[in-house]
Chain A
Amino acid sequence: MTGTGIGAAVRRKEDLRFITGRGHYTDDISRPGQAYACFLRSPHAHARIRSIDTSAAANLPGVLAVLTGAELQADKIGNLICGWMIHSKDGSPMKMAPHPALAVGKVCYVGDPVAVVVAETLPQAKDAAEKIVVDYEVLPAVADPAKAKEGPQIHEVAPRNTIYEWALGDKAATDAAFASARHVTRLDIVNNRLAPNALEPRAAIGEYDAGSDSFTLWNTTQNPHVARLVISAFVGLAPEHKLRVIAPDVGGGFGSKIFIYPEEVVALWASKRVGRPVKWTCDRSEAFLADAHGRDHVTHAEMAFDDKGKIVGLRVHTIANLGAYMSTFSSSIPTYLYATLLSGQYAIPHIYCEVDAVYTNTVPVDAYRGAGRPEATFVVERLVEVGARELGIDPPELRRRNFIKSFPHQTPVIMTYDAGDYEASLRKALEIADYKNFPKRKRESARRGKLRGIGFSTYIEACGIAPSQAVGSLGAGVGLWESAEVRVNPTGSVEVLTGSHSHGQGHETTFAQLVSDRLGIPIENVSVIHGDTDKVQFGMGTYGSRSGAVGMSAIAKALDKVEAKAKKVASHLLEAAEGDIEFKDGKFIVSGTDKSATWADVALHAYIAHKFSGQELEPGLKEGAFYDPTNFTFPAGCHICEVEVDPDTGEVTIVGWTAVDDFGVVINPMIVEGQVHGGIAQGVGQALLEHAVYNSDGQLVTGSLMDYAMPRAGNLPSYKVDMTVTRCPSNPLGVKGCGEAGAIAAPAAVINAVTDAVGVEDIPMPATPQAVWSAIRSRAQPRQAA
């Protein structure tokens, strides 16, 4: 495919500013007269605040204000909220504890913001924060989710620190399936806690304009409109029409910039108090304590097979750590984004899943790339792989026997898969990975004293989040449609305004490709505008791989309307009946004649309005659309990881990676491939390197990049990436979404490979050299004893 339309590997329109250092990230912005904020954070995991003395800090040079929870309450600033209601099995609503932007009366995790200093300079603010005296009564703390229910109670509303005890599926039918099963595979799984670590730290500038009594917030957010809605409707800082939220260039998000955080609320509030713009920029060590973490599940899972290796049931119990407070979407992640994916790519007749969500004295936990789906995939793909080993069946063959083969397919856990060909992606991946010669490679590794292993992950995800009515019935507080506006200028160039937000995904390019393809105009003539609530009417933002399936579908819908209106204009211009006008390759043609008008002609005439009556046809060419999806989309594929393990050190080296994904129609293969690479890297990071570790006192042990191991170039392999395509029938473009696939597929593929190499199933994530070495030793010792 050449050109700039759908399917072309168009170079990114956004790159020029980034490769020359001319991007505009939030911290790059300076407002006239801006002051700087520094937060004082709790050093204790759990403590009562007896008193706070701010007088010494307030008297330091340059200090404009020192604010605490008391001032916050005096100004009647509302709490942060979680926007998805989950009900427990017994019908009771989830136990949402109050979450003030600055602590009131007690602190619940290390990093809980206690006070903020606003000063002329950042060094002055930092110096003053050190002079605030807080008298704490330290309380016992709990950080381990498995011990949360027996730990000290953190919030009055939540006895036994239990937020909800939720279940999905038919317990009796699943138990019956297990009772008659031939074989049951059982696993205890810890899905390790992760710190997202987008490379750009979060930042916020709040600015209050007294003349118009209105606020502006520049913010590192993935969804500026949702931020505005929550800050307005729940926090109550300003009415929605008096608050503008701008998300300029944002340096990666991976979920962590979806949420509405205390710091942006405080920056806005403080800007009105001090009468100056207030800027806050997180530093990295602060980010470990201030950005929502991801994962942190403790799971027991069982898969039942019949005598032919068919899966007859799946039973899962998970404890999900939501941290000290319920973050914006936290409740939905271990429920409707997790248990609903437990059917994987397989026809499983009976599934039952229980999830207990708990409070602990840790940073709040919410969506991180994949959000629930990596956890589900890890459970299913580990069970299938271990089940195959226990049954003595080749792992790809066991998968094949259980694949869903006809669509639509209704799973026992809500989802209706609309399209897919799991056999095709597996077959292609096995070829590319040269699976048939794996035994030869394993022998060759053995000659060099290395243990070689291969691991599979045939994953599925639910993206294109999501049909509003459906998520509403499941407890969502918002609709998950997307909006778009297509503005055609009199010269024929086009601005697309979208409620999606790009923070590395390349929307300025892919969205322009759609317009170029559809209107037949050069991609240079299309601009994509996003991330500003004053420009874009509304939007739900970018997460859950929804920008293609939902955001672009909204643009497609708006383009339909633009084309319909343009045809009316063309019919006047060409003096033909509207029904005779065809639009093709950027030209309006009167059917069966050589009469035509260019796109630019029609755009101009839409605005000068000389050829038609303004009473019969409105001048102008600008249309908007809201698109509500009809279903989730279901990207799926097969990742194969091949590793070599050094038995003397336990070090794992990834020697091969094959990814064959089905994302439906691909808009820009170059960008999709990049998304796959990046997702795999984060998944490999989870499997081999990354772990946010708390000690039993609730202190974060991995509080900097010196302690938290993020993948470097030298830790990762090059990837072989390919695709299969089944068109998604649930949206007009046939796209499914690709942003999270790698992070969802990779951890299971890595651990399946490592356990295959070592011959021990009980290896935790991250599979550090120490963990792998210990596993090798645990295997060796009984053997020596025997």
Chain B
Amino acid sequence: MSTAVEVTLMVNGERVSAAVEPRKTLVDFLREDLALTGSHVGCEHGVCGACTVRLDGAIVRGCLTLAVQCDGAVVETIEGVSDSGEIADLQQAFERRNALQCGYCTPGMLLTAAELLKSGEVPSREAIRAYLSGNYCRCTGYHAIVDAVEAVARARAGQVGVGEAQ
């Protein structure tokens, strides 16, 4: 008595077709069916942001999005943006600034930060904190994450080395 629904979507540039149960979330589909385990499940109710992925260019909660909703959609995960090199500078800044400890929130944090920086503007530290406030980190106290995001914003705007350190 399968109630599975056929879906076809693009995941990290590859076409994927699968039969998924309607109750299956996008993040469970990515993790269990496609073995893309970089997106993490931290709360299953849309609060922590560990499951953040991109859906048609905008970040969403992978735990609040059903896989069946993604038929025809373009999905990008941490694995995809890592391989494409799109956020390499952000990843390097996280490493340089020690903006991660246990690493569990990091993929979601990176995708959220990448979206903030898309406009090319240099946000204030308060604006960075506000934008990242949908993503929990229990390890770093956020200071180093804000440092890393601020440094990349400035570097992309050509203000390398200016005001990096708090």
- Residues of A whose CB lies within 8 Å of any CB of B are 11-12, 14-25, 27-28, 30, 123, 197-201, 249-252, 254, 281, 283-285, 503-506, 670-671, 673-674, 677-682, 704-706, 710-716, 718-719, 742
A281 to B31, CA, bound (A): 13
Q: Which residues of A contact B141 (CB under 8 A)?
A: 677-681, 711, 716, 719, 742
The answer to whether A504 and B98 touch (CB under 8 A), given A21-B107, A284-B42, is no
A696 to B101, CA, bound (A): 38
With beta carbons under 8 angstroms apart, the residue of B40, B100, B143 that contacts A19 is: B100
Secondary structure dominating the interface of B:
loop
With beta carbons under 8 angstroms apart, the residue of A16, A123, A711 that contacts B21 is: A123
Chain B nearest CB: distance from A283 CB in Å? 5
Q: Which residues of B contact A30 (CB under 8 A)?
A: 32
Q: Closest residue to A16 on the B side, CB-wise?
A: B95
Q: Which residues of B contact A14 (CB under 8 A)?
A: 103
Q: Closest residue to B145 on the A side, CB-wise?
A: A713
With beta carbons under 8 angstroms apart, the residue of B45, B95, B101 that contacts A678 is: B101
A718 touches B106 (CB 8 A): no
A254 touches B138 (CB 8 A): yes
Q: Which of B94-115 contact A (CB under 8 A)?
A: 94-96, 98, 100-107, 110
The answer to whether A19 and B106 touch (CB under 8 A), given A252-B139, A677-B140, A714-B133, is yes
B100 touches A15 (CB 8 A): yes
Q: Which residues of A contact B104 (CB under 8 A)?
A: 23, 25, 198-200, 251-252
Q: Which of B12-40 contact A (CB under 8 A)?
A: 21, 23, 31-32, 36-40
Q: Closest residue to A27 on the B side, CB-wise?
A: B41
A19 touches B138 (CB 8 A): no
Chain B nearest CB: distance from A242 CB in Å? 29
Q: Which of B127-166 contact A (CB under 8 A)?
A: 128-130, 132-146, 166
A706 touches B125 (CB 8 A): no
Q: Which of A682, A712, A716 has the most CB of B within 10 A?
A: A712
B133 touches A504 (CB 8 A): no
A16 to B38, CA, bound (A): 12
Further contacts, 12 of them, CB under 8 A, given A11-B98, A679-B141, A681-B142: A12-B98, A21-B107, A23-B103, A28-B31, A252-B104, A281-B41, A284-B44, A284-B48, A674-B140, A681-B141, A705-B136, A716-B142
Q: Which of B37, B105, B125 has the most CB of A within 10 A?
A: B37
A701 to B137, CA, bound (A): 23
A284 touches B45 (CB 8 A): yes
The answer to whether A199 and B44 touch (CB under 8 A), given A21-B38, A123-B21, is no
Secondary structure dominating the interface of A:
loop
B98 touches A670 (CB 8 A): yes
- Residues of B whose CB lies within 8 Å of any CB of A are 21, 23, 31-32, 36-45, 47-48, 50, 77-79, 82, 91, 94-96, 98, 100-107, 110, 125-126, 128-130, 132-146, 166
A503 to B139, CA, bound (A): 10
Q: Which residues of B contact A718 (CB under 8 A)?
A: 125, 143, 146, 166
A706 to B48, CA, bound (A): 10
Q: Which residues of A contact B38 (CB under 8 A)?
A: 20-23
A716 to B144, CA, bound (A): 12
27 A-B pairs within 8 Å (CB atoms) are namely A15-B100, A18-B102, A19-B107, A19-B110, A20-B38, A21-B107, A23-B38, A25-B40, A27-B41, A28-B31, A198-B104, A199-B48, A251-B102, A283-B44, A285-B45, A504-B139, A674-B101, A678-B139, A680-B141, A705-B45, A705-B136, A706-B45, A713-B132, A713-B145, A714-B130, A718-B166, A719-B141
Q: Which residues of B contact A254 (CB under 8 A)?
A: 138
A714 touches B129 (CB 8 A): yes
A718 to B106, CA, bound (A): 19
A23 to B95, CA, bound (A): 15
Chain A nearest CB: distance from B148 CB in Å? 10
The answer to whether A19 and B102 touch (CB under 8 A), given A197-B138, A201-B42, is no
A140 to B135, CA, bound (A): 40
Q: Which residues of A contact B95 (CB under 8 A)?
A: 11-12, 15-16, 19
Q: Which residues of A contact B37 (CB under 8 A)?
A: 21, 24-25, 27-28
Chain B nearest CB: distance from A656 CB in Å? 12
Chain B nearest CB: distance from A707 CB in Å? 10
B45 touches A674 (CB 8 A): no
Q: Which residues of B contact A716 (CB under 8 A)?
A: 129, 141-143
Q: Closest residue to A252 on the B side, CB-wise?
A: B102
A743 to B154, CA, bound (A): 32
Q: Which residues of B contact A12 (CB under 8 A)?
A: 95, 98
A38 to B107, CA, bound (A): 27
A505 touches B101 (CB 8 A): yes
Q: Which residues of A contact B36 (CB under 8 A)?
A: 21
Q: Closest residue to A506 on the B side, CB-wise?
A: B101
A713 touches B129 (CB 8 A): yes
Q: Which residues of B contact A706 (CB under 8 A)?
A: 45, 47
The answer to whether A21 and B128 touch (CB under 8 A), given A15-B100, A674-B101, A674-B140, is no
Q: Which residues of A contact B77 (CB under 8 A)?
A: 21
Q: Which residues of A contact B91 (CB under 8 A)?
A: 19-20
